[in-house]
């Protein structure tokens, strides 16, 4: 291969590397506000979750369900970042929280918990 050929291949490889190393402009996926409420629960309420789920959670087969909804539609009062979060095990509500994702606050609500 001639010097010109080697130089052309080298320039092509450098150009390919430079183009491949550029940042991607992929659109960032915005997380759901409902998942933000769940993330706050998971980060701050592990002790409460263990308290209401006293059985061996590594081996039981009970259904666990999370219900996340706004207390009311946004309107005069802005409920965009307010969520009621309920945790159910085997169809029974065992824990409930009021979550404000704007403030990052989680307030436990009273639920008559029967030990499972």
| Residues 50-100: tens digit of each pLDDT | 999 888 888 888 899 999 999 998 888 888 999 999 999 999 999 999 999
Structure tokens at 56: 């061996």
Q: Which of 112, 67, 110 is nearest to 85 (CA)?
A: 67
**pLDDT tens-digit map of 26-38:** 788 888 999 999 9
Q: Is the dihedral of CA 31, 36, 39, 43 positive or negative?
A: positive
Dist CA 16 CA 23 (whole Å): 14
The full set of domains in the chain, from first to last, is 31-116 (3.10.450)
């Amino acid at each position: 291969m001639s010097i010109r050929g080697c130089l052309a291949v080298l320039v092509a490889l450098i150009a390919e590397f430079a183009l491949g190393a550029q940042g991607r402009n992929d659109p960032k996926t915005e997380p759901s506000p409902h998942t933000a409420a769940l993330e706050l629960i998971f980060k701050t309420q592990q002790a409460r979750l263990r308290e209401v789920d006293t059985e061996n959670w590594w081996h039981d087969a009970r259904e666990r369900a999370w219900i996340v909804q706004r207390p009311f539609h946004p309107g005069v009062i802005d409920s965009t970042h307010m969520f009621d979060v309920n945790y159910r095990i085997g169809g029974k509500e065992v824990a409930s929280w009021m979550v404000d994702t704007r403030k990052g606050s989680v307030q436990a609500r009273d639920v008559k918990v029967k030990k499972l």
